[in-house]
């Protein structure tokens, strides 16, 4: 064990990851979680106290990594290891300017997130929100014609971003008799052929798909890529699924499109903000199904993410290449 200090930024980092860190380093952990407004404020104050002298930061959720925090950490900081695939909160330009490494946790969470994407497709296509509401009210619609949904069978599924998660969704849908998989992105993916997915431009995907899956990282280019213009190109039976980041979607425009039935439904695992306030107008709509960002939230996946995060820290502080580098 060395005296190098590793700060773990919240109290909910799995033991599987902590054990690895403790074998090598002096581990300091915030007693708070990032979650909720109160948790985030308390935690920020605590982190400012704990961060000086850290050689590594294990960044457990999506709390912004500010210049103030980096300044407080000091010049010995070598690596930020974020326990997430997304790293839009990690202040990449600032880390780069300071020569600090950055790692994330891609791949290990693809199947768990893909399962949530498929769940959202089913929940929205079969109108779980309205149907569950009937059950809760004890007022089931009688008869043959119930709240009728749409089939995945025979549909066109368009994937925006055929990376690890997008590919995992296509694989999981193999038994659903999907008629066509389309995808779009910066370039064609070699994996697409085996998946039977056809590369198209964004407009083609928007105008032809029955399901549109957002599985891209949040960047300045993708922020609000779903807006009134792109929603306006979708079919009236289109279902939008977002397992990326809330800010990929202009939520005002989404609200209008759902309210006016310009599109059929939306299933969101990510929103802006998180948590979405319980009186948010999106939650008044019958044709939306919202989950509290649980894409990677299974015991196995969280453990895999924690182990990968910690091993990245070990590598960075022992002079080995990062396993999953963003900045090296």
Tell whether residue 296 is a contact of ligand DGY (CB under 6 A). Answer: yes
- Candidates 14, 86, 163, 267; binder of ligand DGY (CB under 6 A) is 86
| Radius of gyration, CA atoms only, the chain | 21
Tell whether residue 267 is a contact of ligand DGY (CB under 6 A). Answer: no
d(CA 88, CA 102): 12
Least gap, CB of 275 to ligand DGY (angstroms): 14
DSSP assignments along 245-288, one per residue: -GGGB-HHHHHHHHHTTSSSEEEES--SSSSPPTT-GGGG-TTE
d(CA 3, CA 186): 44
- Candidates 109, 116, 197, 248; binder of ligand DGY (CB under 6 A) is 109
Residue (of 232, 183, 191) closest to 211 by Cα position: 183
Tell whether residue 95 is a contact of ligand DGY (CB under 6 A). Answer: no
Does the active-site annotation cover 62?
no
Q: Contact region for ligand DGY (CB under 6 A) — 22-30, 84-92, 116-124, 136-144?
A: 84-92
Tell whether residue 295 is a contact of ligand DGY (CB under 6 A). Answer: yes
Tell whether residue 309 is a contact of ligand DGY (CB under 6 A). Answer: no
d(CA 87, CA 100): 14
Closer of 109 and 205 to ligand DGY (Cβ): 109
Q: Contact region for ligand DGY (CB under 6 A) — 12-20, 82-90, 185-193, 196-204?
A: 82-90
Residue 57, strand partner residues:
7, 80
x/- site string to ligand DGY, residues 31 to 50, per CB under 6 A? Answer: --------------------
Q: Contact region for ligand DGY (CB under 6 A) — 80-88, 122-130, 135-143, 276-284?
A: 80-88
Closer of 156 and 222 to ligand DGY (Cβ): 222
d(CA 70, CA 48): 9
At residue 60, φ and ψ (nearest 5 deg) are -85, -35
Buried/exposed 51-85: b ≥16 CB within 10 Å, e otherwise: bebbbbbbbbbbbebeeebbebbeeebbbbbbbbb
**What's the CA angle centered on 216, arms 215 and 220, to 5 degrees?**
150
- Candidates 9, 84, 124, 155; binder of ligand DGY (CB under 6 A) is 84
Least gap, CB of 298 to ligand DGY (angstroms): 11
Tell whether residue 85 is a contact of ligand DGY (CB under 6 A). Answer: yes
At residue 220, φ and ψ (nearest 5 deg) are -65, -25
Closer of 158 and 163 to ligand DGY (Cβ): 163
77 in Cβ contact with 70 (< 8 Å): yes
Least gap, CB of 9 to ligand DGY (angstroms): 13
Please give the residue ranges that form the binding site for ligand DGY (CB under 6 A).
Answer: 84-86, 109, 295-296
Point out the residues that are catalytic: 293
């Amino acid at each position: 064990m060395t005296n190098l200090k590793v700060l773990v930024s919240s109290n909910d980092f799995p033991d599987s990851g902590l054990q690895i860190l403790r074998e090598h380093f002096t581990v300091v952990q915030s007693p708070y979680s990032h979650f909720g407004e109160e948790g985030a404020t308390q935690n920020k104050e605590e982190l400012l106290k704990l961060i000086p002298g850290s050689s590594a930061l294990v960044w457990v959720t999506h709390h912004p990594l500010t210049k103030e925090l980096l300044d407080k950490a000091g010049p010995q900081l070598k690596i930020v290891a974020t326990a997430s695939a997304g790293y839009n909160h990690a202040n990449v330009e600032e880390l780069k300017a300071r020569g600090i490494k950055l790692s994330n946790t891609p791949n290990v969470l693809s199947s768990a997130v893909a399962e949530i994407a498929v769940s959202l497709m089913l929940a929205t296509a079969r109108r779980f929100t309205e149907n569950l509401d009937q059950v809760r009210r004890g007022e089931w619609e009688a008869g043959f014609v119930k709240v009728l949904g749409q089939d995945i069978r025979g549909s066109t599924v368009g994937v925006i971003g055929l990376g690890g998660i997008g590919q995992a969704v296509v694989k999981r849908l193999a038994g659903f008799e999907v008629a066509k998989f389309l995808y779009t992105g910066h370039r064609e993916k070699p994996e697409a052929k085996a998946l039977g997915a056809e590369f198209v431009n964004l407009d083609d995907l928007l105008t032809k798909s029955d399901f549109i899956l957002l599985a891209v990282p949040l960047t300045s280019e993708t922020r609000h890529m779903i807006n009134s213009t792109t929603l306006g190109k979708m079919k009236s039976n289109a279902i939008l699924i977002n397992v990326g980041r809330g800010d990929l979607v202009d939520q005002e425009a989404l609200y209008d499109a759902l309210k006016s039935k310009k599109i059929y439904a939306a299933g969101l695992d990510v929103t802006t903000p998180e948590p979405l306030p319980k009186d948010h107008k999106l939650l008044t709509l019958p044709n939306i199904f919202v989950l509290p960002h649980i894409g990677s939230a299974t015991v196995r996946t969280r453990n895999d993410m924690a182990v990968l995060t910690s091993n990245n820290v070990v590598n960075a502080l022992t002079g080995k290449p990062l396993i999953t580098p963003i900045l090296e």
